[in-house]
Structure formats: structure tokens, C-alpha cells
Chain A
Amino acid sequence: MNDFSNMTKPTAKGNWIFFMAFVRKEFHHIFRDKMSMLILLVMPILMLILFGYALNTEVKNSKVAVYDPSQDEATRAIVEKLQVNDYFVLHRMLKSPDEVDRVFKSGEVAMVVVFSEHFYESLVHGGKAQIQLIADGTDPNTANTITTYASTIINNYQQELLKTGAIPYQITPEVKLLYNPSMVAAYNFVPGVMGMIILLICAMMTSVSIAREKENGTMEILLVSPMKPLYVILSKAVPYFFLSVVNLITILLISVFVMGVPVAGSLFWLIVLSLLYIFVSLALGLLISSVVNSQMAAMLISAMGLMMPVMLLSGMLFPTENMPVALQALSDIIPARWYIIAVKKIMIKGLSVGSILTELAILGSMAIVLVTVSLRNFKIRLE
């Protein structure tokens, strides 16, 4: 018989070797499971494309009808400018104001432009030159976007007239969208998708894989073994950490080279920030796994408890400023919210690291709290 006392004493080196053996085992679990591979490698790209193209808030080729009783130099110039623009297509000219109602009801057009009578004359002599922009308000986002586009075009025309001295001095507000002058939607959703993907991979995949060990009874074997529970947990986190980094790089490459979203600020700090966020997400996954016993429950809690709030409350799709106070408070405790804000500052606005100290501090404290709670919660003995 063998001498146990000799062979079962764990050494630091031995611990390291078997920690790495465990990490390898986790990679086997991932690479041999089609579903995991699909979620880890295809989904991030799919989400980028989905948010990038399908859920695009940019509006192009909107059909426009025009009622123009003046038919003068100015109205023709404005209609011409609307038409040459990417955003609008002139559907048809209306013969009477009564038709406005009809074209909206039939859904033919997205916007109607109505000029006042004697438009050019009024413009030049400072009279009542008016343009009415009528849009379909059932879709407020689209209506808002296209009327803004149209106003910009009309203002530009006015500016031109000013320069030629054809009309007297007039104050025209100049609207300029900072950081995202052409209102590219990708500038908004890339940070959001980054926040969501990382959270999904770290929190959901980690918690599901720990729950799977509980379900299969292998966790019991591990807990009976001399292996330290902390190592079991850490070995779970390591592969997902690496995969998150791979995904982070993929997302950044796609955003920069396919979607044309530049990294305006420091790439170094963007990565530091992301690593911190990955850490927070892993800690969340560990916390979830310490309270659930089945893969299904882990999945549901991750999806409902993390994904939904991230999509709805993190400011990714809807601005948090307009939310009721209670929801705003809720959004404050969502790590993704702070991450998305910080990514926007560094990546899109190109601000220095000084501007994201608050976000870094918040994410850092979240990490400390979550790791402490989940390690304390992780049961060494199964009751």
C-alpha cells in the first residue's frame, strides 16, 4: 500500500499545477459545448450587428409631401435642398391643405412641409414667412429626428440668404451635435453593447457553469476533496475572464473598422476600465451561483435580474434622466450604467482618465463588495 502522508500533502507548486489543470478542464467544458461556443463567440457579433443595423435610430429616405402655395424662389430652393438630402425623398406636391390629413391617414408620408403664402416676399421684408413641419407623432423618436433634420436644412438655407444680403439681419440658432455630429447611432450603442456582452458572458456563463456542477453532483465531489473551495471558484472565473477579453477586443475591432466608431481617448484606460468591469461582472456571477442550485435558475436570474435592467435602466436604450426617481436610484446600482458612461467619455468623447475617476471608484467599490459577499456566501459545506 502507498504511503499517504507523503503523497497527499498539498504544496504551493502542487496547488498551482492542479489549479491550472482545473482551468484546462473549464476550457474543455466550453469548447466541447456547442451552445457555450455559440453564446461566447457568435452572440457578441450578432448583437453588434443587431443593434448596429436593425435597431438603428438613424432615419433615412423618409417620404415627404409638400404644400406650397407660394411657388417662389425660396420655397423651391428649400424643397430642392430637402430632396437632395439622404434623409428625405419628395413623395409628391399637395394641391390643397385638406390633403395633409389624407396623406397621413393613408400612411403615405412621414412628414409634410407646409409653406405660408408669399413666402419669399415675407422673408425678405421681415413679414410672416412661416413653414410648418408636420410629422407623425405616433413614433415620437422618428418624428423628432426627421423634424430636426428638416429644421437644420431650412436654417442652413436661411444662413445662405443672410450671407448674400438678400434678407435683413436675423438670429438663427445653430444646433450642433457635439461628439457625434452626424448622429451616428453606433456611437451610442457600442458602449452599451460592450457593457451588456461582458456582463452576460461573465455573470451568466460563470453562474450557469457552477450551477451545472451542483446539478451533476460533481460539486459535491470537489467539496469532499482536499481541493480548496476558493480554487474551485477561481478556476471557474479564469476562462470566462479570458473569453471576455477576447470579446472585448473583437467588439473594439468591429466598432473601429466596420462601424467606424473611433477610440477617441486613451486605449490603455479604456482597457483598464473594461478589466475592472469584467471583474465586477465575474463577482456578480459568483454571487448568483452561490444562491442558486440549478442551471435554469442561474440562467433566469442572470437574464431577468441582469440583462433586462441593463438594457432598460443603464441608459443604453433610454436616457436615465427622464426616469422616475425610483428607477433612477435603481439604475445607480447597476454596474453597467457606470461602465457605459465611462466608456462614452473615454472612447467617444476622448476625455482624459481624470474624467472617469468617479466611475472607476464606483466600479471598484462594487467589485470589493461583491467579491466579499460572494466568497462569504459560498458554502463550503452543503447543508
Chain B
Amino acid sequence: MISKTQIPEDKVIVARDLTKKFGNFTAVDHLSFEVGKGEIFGFLGANGAGKTTAMRMLCGLSKQTSGEAWVAGYDIARETEKIKRCIGYMSQKFALYEDLKVWENIRLYAGIYGVPEKDIAGRTDDLLKRLGFEAEKQALVKSLPLGWKQKLAFSVAIFHEPKIVFLDEPTGGVDPAVRRQFWELIYQAADRGITVFVTTHYMDEAEYCNRVSIMVDGHIEALDTPNNLKQQLEAKNMDDVFHQLARKAKRTEQ
């Protein structure tokens, strides 16, 4: 076990041999990595490789079987409540309330994360202006196109300016053009110093990350910048990199 003082200042996520077992099945197998402040860290892997399970442990939604991890300097096993206050989270279901209006969703989530009451209205208008959603303020979320919902969900997840935002396959179901627009928001967030931890299985998205880790069968098979990975494996793009590594997988899709 390492002590808290040994965690490097500039690392917002540190995992050491993080493991999760469901009965006999080891979903996440001795995961070790570090993520720096303001980094966009991609977590790649086929379905069932263990990405979501790993992310859920870091968010405090699931308890690790063994190993340790620190998020924003807090122990994930013992300081979940503190972690919760400095992270944002967006799941693959993007999870806005469809029967609430756009501003009501923002208001609600802002409230949950403790944004001061007096700031909410002003910041809501700023956000809608930035997104170009001013006209939709009073619209029910269910009336928006999927790409818009995802952008809104992301903006809601970072509305309270968290240190880290966890994105679990945030862009499922939309085409590459819409994904690119979404990633502009991610870059803006990273520029403001928010660390982005994102799982995906779209390889065009992997190219946008500062560093990517590729998970195969519950462990990290490779971890580096997209360019370095391409050079090491003499691949022409990330898709190629992924297929070379994923070929080793023994697990079939869950």
C-alpha cells in the first residue's frame, strides 16, 4: 500500500493494481495507470473489455475487489463522498430527464452538485448562449436531436466545474461529424483545466485524446500517445493499432 503523500501532485487519477471480480470472472485485472491534470485520457476497448467497470470503480459506483486508486487525491475506497464533490459523470445513456425542460435539467443538476443558487440562472444563460441553444431553453429535452442531448448532457456534467469529468461512451449512436462537434466541447473543458477521462470504441475519437490506454480482457495492453502507439506498431491509424492489439482478446462479447 502506498501512502497519500506518495501521490504525485500533478496526477489527478492514480490506479495501482485495481482489480474487480464478479464471482470467478475477473472483469478488471490489476490495472495501473496515472492521469495528469488537464489531460484528455482515452480508455479504449471492445465491449466487455472492462472499461465501464473500471470507470465505475473510479466514480465510486462500484467497490474494487483489490488494489487501490486515488481520484483528485482521495482514496476511492474510503473517501467516496469527497470524490463525488469534485467529479462530473456522463453515462452512455446521457441521462437527462426527457420530461423536464432544458433549463430545468441544468437547474436540477447544478443544484445537486452544489452550485450556489444565485449563480445558477446567469451561468445557465451563458451556457445556452455558448451552445447556441438559447431558443431551446424552454423546450422539453425529449424534443431535441440526439447530438444536442449529448452536448447538453456533457455541459451539465461539467456545469459545476469539476476537477475531472468521466465520460462513458458519450457519443454512442451519432455520426463522426456530430462527434467532432462534441469533441470541441471536450477541448474547451480541457483548456479550462478539467481532466477528461473518456471511454470509447470509436477510433476516430481515440485520435483526439492526449493519451490512450487500450484494454484487452480486463488489463491494459498498451498505454501511450496515439502517435507513439502508431509508430510502435507501424500502424497507419488508431483503428489499425486497436485491431492489432484486440486480436489477442480471448473473451467474447458479454
- Contact-residue size bin, chain B (C-beta under 8 Å from the other chain): 35 or more
Q: Is B36 an interface residue (CB 8 A)?
A: no
Interface string of B82-99 (1 = CB under 8 A from A): 001111011111111111
Stretch in contact with the other chain, from B3-11, B56-64, B129-137, B221-229: B56-64
Contact A223 B61 (CB under 8 A): yes
Q: Is B48 an interface residue (CB 8 A)?
A: no
* A4, A7, A21, A29: the one within 8 Å of B97 (CB): A29
Contact A32 B86 (CB under 8 A): no
Residue of A nearest to B95 (CB): A217
Task: Please name all residues of chain B whose beta carbon is closer than 8 Å to the beta carbon of A225 when the two chains form the complex.
Answer: 84, 89, 109, 112-113
Given contacts A7-B114, A18-B111, A224-B89, contact A216 B99 (CB under 8 A): no
Contact B97 A25 (CB under 8 A): yes
Task: Please name all residues of chain A whose beta carbon is closer than 8 Å to the beta carbon of B90 when the two chains form the complex.
Answer: 221
Task: Please name all residues of chain A whose beta carbon is closer than 8 Å to the beta carbon of B104 when the two chains form the complex.
Answer: 25, 28
Task: Please name all residues of chain B whose beta carbon is closer than 8 Å to the beta carbon of A383 when the two chains form the complex.
Answer: 62-63
Task: Please name all residues of chain A whose beta carbon is closer than 8 Å to the beta carbon of B117 when the two chains form the complex.
Answer: 17
* B85, B112, B160: the one within 8 Å of A18 (CB): B112
**In the complex, A22→B87 CA distance in Å?**
21
Q: Is A178 an interface residue (CB 8 A)?
A: no
Interface string of A217-234 (1 = CB under 8 A from B): 110111111110000000
Residue of B nearest to A4 (CB): B86
Residue of A nearest to B117 (CB): A17
Contact B112 A222 (CB under 8 A): yes
Residue of A nearest to B157 (CB): A221
**In the complex, A216→B92 CA distance in Å?**
10
Contact A4 B163 (CB under 8 A): yes
| Minimum C-beta distance from B229 to chain A (A) | 30
Contact A381 B61 (CB under 8 A): yes
Contact A29 B62 (CB under 8 A): no
Contact B60 A28 (CB under 8 A): no
| Minimum C-beta distance from B105 to chain A (A) | 9
Contact A216 B93 (CB under 8 A): yes
Residue of A nearest to B194 (CB): A1
Question: Which has the most chain A C-beta neighbours within 10 Å: B97, B98, B109, B117?
Answer: B97
Q: Is B75 an interface residue (CB 8 A)?
A: no
Given contacts A25-B97, A381-B60, contact A8 B91 (CB under 8 A): no
Question: Which has the most chain A C-beta neighbours within 10 Å: B98, B112, B115?
Answer: B112
Given contacts A226-B114, A381-B61, contact A221 B108 (CB under 8 A): no
Task: Please name all residues of chain B whose beta carbon is closer than 8 Å to the beta carbon of A17 when the two chains form the complex.
Answer: 111, 117
| Minimum C-beta distance from A344 to chain B (A) | 40
Contact A8 B85 (CB under 8 A): yes
**In the complex, A21→B100 CA distance in Å?**
12
**In the complex, A220→B55 CA distance in Å?**
13
Task: Please name all residues of chain B whose beta carbon is closer than 8 Å to the beta carbon of A18 when the two chains form the complex.
Answer: 111-112
Question: Which has the most chain A C-beta neighbours within 10 Å: B62, B111, B116?
Answer: B111
Question: Which has the most chain B C-beta neighbours within 10 Å: A216, A220, A222?
Answer: A220
Q: Is B234 an interface residue (CB 8 A)?
A: no
| Minimum C-beta distance from A330 to chain B (A) | 35
Residue of B nearest to A32 (CB): B99
Q: Is A9 an interface residue (CB 8 A)?
A: yes
| Minimum C-beta distance from B163 to chain A (A) | 7
* B91, B98, B161: the one within 8 Å of A2 (CB): B161
Task: Please name all residues of chain B whose beta carbon is closer than 8 Å to the beta carbon of A220 when the two chains form the complex.
Answer: 61, 89, 91, 93, 95
Contact B97 A14 (CB under 8 A): no
**In the complex, A372→B81 CA distance in Å?**
23
Given contacts A8-B114, A21-B107, contact A29 B99 (CB under 8 A): yes
Residue of B nearest to A232 (CB): B112
Q: Is B193 an interface residue (CB 8 A)?
A: yes
**In the complex, A226→B97 CA distance in Å?**
18
Task: Please name all residues of chain B whose beta carbon is closer than 8 Å to the beta carbon of A382 when the two chains form the complex.
Answer: 56, 61-62
Q: Is B192 an interface residue (CB 8 A)?
A: yes
* A7, A14, A22, A224: the one within 8 Å of B160 (CB): A7
Given contacts A4-B85, A18-B112, contact A224 B99 (CB under 8 A): no
Interface string of A6-50 (1 = CB under 8 A from B): 011110001001100110010011001100000000000000000
Contact B84 A28 (CB under 8 A): no
**26 sampled A-B residue pairs with Cβ under 8 A:** A1-B192, A2-B161, A4-B85, A4-B162, A7-B160, A8-B85, A8-B86, A17-B111, A18-B111, A18-B112, A21-B111, A22-B108, A25-B104, A29-B97, A32-B99, A32-B140, A216-B93, A216-B95, A217-B95, A218-B96, A223-B61, A224-B84, A224-B87, A225-B113, A226-B114, A381-B60
A binding-site residues for B, Cβ under 8 Å: 1-2, 4, 7-10, 14, 17-18, 21-22, 25, 28-29, 32-33, 216-218, 220-227, 381-383
Given contacts A10-B114, A226-B112, 19 further A-B contacts (CB under 8 A): A1-B193, A4-B85, A4-B86, A4-B160, A7-B160, A9-B114, A14-B114, A18-B112, A25-B100, A28-B99, A29-B99, A32-B140, A33-B99, A217-B93, A220-B89, A220-B91, A225-B112, A381-B61, A381-B63
- A-B pairs with the 6 shortest C-beta distances? A217-B93, A217-B95, A224-B89, A8-B85, A18-B111, A8-B114
B binding-site residues for A, Cβ under 8 Å: 56, 59-63, 81, 84-87, 89-100, 104, 107-109, 111-117, 140, 160-163, 192-193
